[in-house]
Amino acid sequence: MNKETIRSHFKQKRGELSKEEVRSLSDQIISLFLEFLSSKENINHIHLFLPIDRFNEVDTFPLFFKLQEKGLHIYTSIVNKAKDNLDTLEITNNTRFVNDAWGIPLPAEAMRVSPENIQLILVPLLAYDRRGYRLGYGKGYYDKYLAGMGNQVLKVGLSFFDPIDWIPEEAHDIPLDLCITQNGILNF
């Protein structure tokens, strides 16, 4: 299968999930992530993606609040169209979120910061394969972002679905280190 076929298939699969299923599966994934994180006491700076509700993405807002309670530094990113990349924003429990025209939750007021302190990044995805290569929405923003991070940053996917056998990768694609589903943690 080519990337567009895979992308279309997984958009449809996610679209078929009810809001209750998304909430329940997200809770299970978050629980496993927090269990995983408890074994990584040195990780204090985490980047997370904010979920696009209409695309039935894993809901990371409950995770955001749990990480805030733990006193961790939390970041997200927004598209910088002028530079064709992502800018890093630090978010706190005082951050107010608004949806943009695409339905993407964005911090209303947040400070742009360097991504240099980020130790773990939660990466959005539609599908991923058994080698850790992921497929997003096709804009390449996260691959560019990850390329600037270096190998020391732990790249973690969150998915409602199991991996497929193979996604055609390109030279700029950066694989995940692991992916968490409601069924467990897959290391690559």
Q: What is the mean pLDDT of residues 162-169?
A: 97
**Per-residue pLDDT for 105 more than 80?**
yes
State both tokens at 32: 């496993």
CA 120, CA 132: separation in Å to the nearest integer? 16
Q: For residue 164, what is the DSSP state?
A: B
Burial class (CB in 10 A: 0-12, 13-18, 19+), 140: middle
Instruction: Give the pLDDT band (50/70/90) at residue 65.
Output: very high
Domain 3-187, architecture per CATH: 3-Layer(aba) Sandwich (3.40)
Q: Is 150 exposed, middle or buried (0-12, 13-18, 19+ CB in 10 A)?
A: exposed
* Structural domain boundaries in the chain: 3-187
| Per-residue pLDDT at 109 | 85
Q: Which residue has the tokens 């496993």?
A: 32
Give the pLDDT of residue 91: 96
pLDDT in tens, 39-50: 999 999 999 999
116 pLDDT more than 90: yes
Per-residue pLDDT, averaged over 102-127, amounts to 93
Residue count (the chain): 188
pLDDT at 111 over 90: no
Q: 47 with 76: CB under 8 angstroms? A: yes
Residues with Cβ within 8 Å of residue 38, at least 6 apart in sequence: none
110 CB burial (10 A radius; 0-12, 13-18, 19+): buried
- Give the pLDDT score at 73: 97
Which pLDDT score is estimated for 101?
A: 81
